[in-house]
């Protein structure tokens, strides 16, 4: 069996928080168009292409291996019984075989848990759509991927020309060397631990203690003890940075000017913040990326501010139609990527902030300007915490996995989210995607609508992916909260036009006299 790679605490948390009502996988609904003269079998060609490139993304062949008694985080190990026919399926789309039908099926399928005995991903190919289109629904567990890694994975698998590129086959695996004696490694590490603090040129963060790599209970206890020592050393080395971050946080909280910012992050209860069922409603819609960027420039904000304003306007319209718009502004949980440019590791590198989205403001222009100001304040408030994330994202405690899973199930079954104040009212995420046209097995990629996660207490998730010159919005919600999320999608183009009209003056009409 290949070397095991233990999940970080952040990655593993998506496994522990998962319940039948709250799956923790993310995905997309991609729309392709086949060439007019296409005569092949797209499903078989697509499957063969993915099979030939699995070595580019090793996570696609990795399955979970649990620790005994769930005493520690599970590990990724190569699935020695991997079968691609258990991951890529030919799906059936009933009449009228249009995108609306596909969206309803994707919502239904996204509510189904992935099989943890296998690598945690699945592709479903829907052929026979109108206009020579192909639908591809994909899902992958959030434990092994975030939005940034998903975009990187997309770039690795797809092509930039209709003719698929040739991918070099996997190189022969190196024969693993016999591990050194654990006792000898411990002596070396002990010496390293005590010499590094007195050597200014040696960073304590480089300490690496030996591991048994075995999965029996005694080995796990030993390996965890080594991990805790490593963590303590790294924690100590980063203490000055952490203390500065905590000092900055305390300073901002104690600053009277920050009180209003903190108050704006409090989320009012709404009809969207309830316990969700095990069903999902999904829909997608697209707008022009260049027009959205022009709007951001005209308003003095960023593209993220425009996405927040569009989400705010849509949710505001919906709540008004339901008679449930609160007087206080709603808030959005906004994930922020900590992934460095070029990093394609299949793991989670995210942070987040809470931002007021000005749903209590009627005028579209004033609403966007308010959101720009609020998002700036939220970034300032959350910035000191960003430095803490690398240090706290992989803290581990024996027994935590089973305890966390029990608490997650208790929270899900007790309907506590119906009575507790929501941490945020909606989730809004913006994932940068490729600007160039992509292809798969000769088919042109037209759209890639994100399909994300609904949670208890935050039923609505709006995730946006840019592709070429468009923003593809994916709306997903607990179906017991919003039975037909398509209603919100239908409102978005109108909201976009209202924002444009507020900031971009109409072209000047010239009179005949001129």
Q: What is the DSSP string of 155-219?
A: HHHSBSSSSPPP-PPPPPPPPPPPPPPHHHHHHHHHHHHHHGGG-TTS-GGG---------SHHH
Among 155, 145, 151, residue whose Cα is nearest residue 121? 145
Number of Cβ within a 10 Å radius of residue 456 = 24
| Bridge partner residues of 431 (DSSP) | 465
Nearest to 61, CA basis, from 46, 48, 50, 71: 50
| Tokens of residue 283, six digits | 């829909």
Active site annotation includes 484: no
Tokens 């769930």 sit on residue: 70
**CB-based contacts of 48, cutoff 8 Å, min separation 6:** none
Bridge partners for 64 per DSSP: 76
Residues 6+ apart with CB under 8 A from 170: 55
User: Three-state DSSP class for 262?
Assistant: helix
- Hey, what are 56's tokens? 């580019």
* Number of C-beta neighbours around residue 285 at 10 A: 20
Structure token digits, residue 296: 């951001």
**In terms of Cα–Cα distance, which of 273, 277, 279 is closest to 332?**
273
Q: Residue 33: phi, psi to the nearest 5?
A: -130, 125
Catalytic residue, from 87, 141, 142, 447: name it: 142
Residue the block writes with tokens 């994300």: 452
Whole-angstrom distance, CA of residue 242 vs CA of residue 476 = 37
The 10 Å Cβ neighbour count of residue 121 is 22
421 φ/ψ angles, rounded to the nearest 5 degrees: -65, 140
Is the Cβ–Cβ distance between 453 and 282 less than 8 Å? Answer: no
450 strand-pairing partners: 28
Report the half-sphere exposure of 31 (CA within 13 A, side-chain side): 20
Instruction: List the structure tokens of 113.
Output: 């848990």
What span, in angstroms and rounded, lies between the C-alpha atoms of 252 and 261? 10
Burial class (CB in 10 A: 0-12, 13-18, 19+), 390: middle
CA-nearest of 21, 31, 25, 20 to 103 is: 31
- Token digits of residue 224: 């965890």
Catalytic residues: 142
């Amino acid at each position: 069996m290949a070397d095991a790679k233990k999940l970080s605490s952040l990655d593993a948390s998506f496994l522990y928080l998962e319940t039948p009502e709250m799956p923790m996988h993310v995905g997309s609904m991609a729309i392709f168009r086949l060439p007019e003269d296409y005569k092949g079998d797209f499903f078989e060609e697509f499957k063969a292409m993915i099979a030939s490139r699995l070595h580019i993304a090793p996570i696609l062949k990795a399955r979970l291996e649990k620790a005994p008694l769930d005493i520690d985080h599970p590990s990724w190990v190569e699935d020695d019984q991997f079968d691609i026919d258990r991951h890529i399926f030919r799906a059936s789309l009933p009449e009228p075989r249009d995108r609306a039908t596909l969206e309803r099926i994707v919502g239904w399928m996204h509510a189904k848990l992935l099989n943890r005995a296998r690598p945690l991903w699945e592709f479903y190919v829907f052929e026979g759509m109108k206009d020579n289109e192909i639908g591809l629904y994909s899902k992958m567990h959030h434990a092994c991927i975030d939005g940034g890694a998903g975009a990187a994975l997309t770039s690795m698998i797809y092509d930039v020309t209709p003719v698929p590129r040739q991918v070099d086959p996997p190189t022969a695996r190196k024969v693993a060397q016999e591990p050194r004696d654990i006792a000898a490694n411990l002596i070396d590490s002990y010496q390293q631990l005590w010499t590094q603090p007195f050597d200014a040129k040696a960073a304590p963060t480089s300490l690496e203690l030996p591991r048994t790599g075995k999965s029996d209970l005694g080995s796990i206890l030993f390996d965890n003890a080594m991990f805790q020592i490593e963590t303590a050393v790294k924690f100590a080395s980063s203490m000055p940075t952490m203390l500065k971050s905590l000092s900055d946080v305390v300073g901002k909280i104690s600053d009277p000017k920050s009180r209003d910012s903190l108050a704006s992050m409090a989320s009012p209860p709404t009809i969207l913040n309830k316990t969700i069922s095990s069903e999902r409603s999904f829909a997608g819609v697209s707008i022009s990326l260049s027009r959205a960027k022009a709007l951001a420039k005209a308003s003095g904000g960023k593209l993220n501010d425009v996405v927040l304003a569009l989400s705010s306007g849509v949710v505001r319209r919906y709540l008004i139609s339901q008679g449930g718009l609160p007087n206080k502004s709603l808030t959005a949980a906004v994930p922020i990527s900590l992934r460095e440019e070029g990093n394609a590791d299949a793991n989670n590198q995210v942070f987040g902030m809470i931002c007021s989205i000005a749903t209590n403001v009627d005028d579209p222009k004033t609403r966007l300007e308010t959101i720009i100001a609020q998002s700036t304040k939220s970034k300032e408030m959350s910035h000191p915490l960003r430095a803490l994330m690398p240090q706290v994202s992989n803290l581990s405690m024996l027994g935590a996995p089973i305890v966390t899973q029990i608490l997650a199930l208790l929270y899900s079954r007790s309907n506590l989210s119906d009575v507790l104040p929501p941490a945020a009212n909606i989730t809004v995420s913006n994932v940068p995607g490729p600007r160039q046209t992509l292809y798969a097995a000769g088919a042109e990629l037209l759209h890639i609508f994100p399909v994300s996660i609904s949670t208890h207490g935050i039923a609505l998730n709006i995730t946006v992916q840019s592709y070429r010159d468009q923003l593809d919005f994916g709306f997903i919600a607990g179906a017991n909260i919003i039975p037909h999320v398509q209603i919100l999608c239908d409102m978005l183009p109108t909201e976009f036009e209202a924002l444009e009209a507020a900031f971009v003056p109409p072209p000047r009409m010239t009179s005949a006299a001129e």
